């Protein structure tokens, strides 16, 4: 049976969406990933583009409120927010907290923002590979 992993960030717009997409594409034989936000926003097009560059399509994802998962038990809650935010989710058996910059706060030209989103994507995927790949 696959373990369930819920990735959470504030807006469920980029970091948690990229993590969900990557986990489901890379480790779907062992894990089923979901994502949610404490204040859901709109899916970030830069995140969609960054994942497409890896051959992972998250364009059909939508931002979800953490409350949508209230009745579901998760094996892991992975908070990917910055600023030490720790979402409350009592139905998780284990918790992991990793901080990544919020792409909504990025500034610069389109190319500069995209480069920063790629960097965040790469950091997220490395952390997933490290935490879940060898299990």
* pLDDT, tens digit only, all 135 positions of the chain: 999 999 999 899 999 999 999 999 999 999 999 999 989 999 999 999 999 999 999 999 999 999 999 889 999 999 998 765 667 677 888 888 888 988 888 999 999 999 999 999 999 999 999 999 865
Query: What's the token pair of residue 69?
Result: 């998962």
Supply φ then ψ for residue 36, to 5 degrees: -160, 170
Tell me whether residue 131 is exposed, middle or buried, using C-beta atoms within 10 angstroms of its C-beta: 0 to 12, 13 to 18, 19 or more: middle
- pLDDT at res. 133: 83
- pLDDT at res. 86: 67
- pLDDT at res. 96: 86
- pLDDT at res. 102: 87
> Is 128:19 a contact under the CB 8 Å cutoff?
yes
Domains of the chain (ranges; CATH) run 3-133 (3.40.50.2300)
């Amino acid at each position: 049976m696959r373990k369930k992993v819920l990735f959470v960030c504030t807006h469920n717009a980029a970091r948690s969406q990229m993590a969900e997409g990557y986990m489901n594409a890379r480790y779907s034989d062992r894990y089923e990933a979901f994502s949610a936000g404490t204040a859901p926003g709109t899916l970030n097009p830069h995140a969609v583009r960054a994942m497409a560059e890896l051959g992972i399509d998250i364009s059909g994802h939508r931002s979800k409120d953490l409350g949508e998962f209230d009745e579901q038990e998760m094996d892991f809650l992975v908070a990917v927010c910055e600023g030490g935010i720790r979402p409350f989710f009592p139905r998780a058996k284990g918790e992991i907290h990793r901080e990544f910059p919020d792409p909504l706060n990025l500034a610069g030209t389109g190319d500069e923002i995209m480069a920063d989103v790629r960097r965040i994507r790469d950091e997220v995927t490395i952390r997933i590979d490290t935490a879940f790949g060898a299990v």
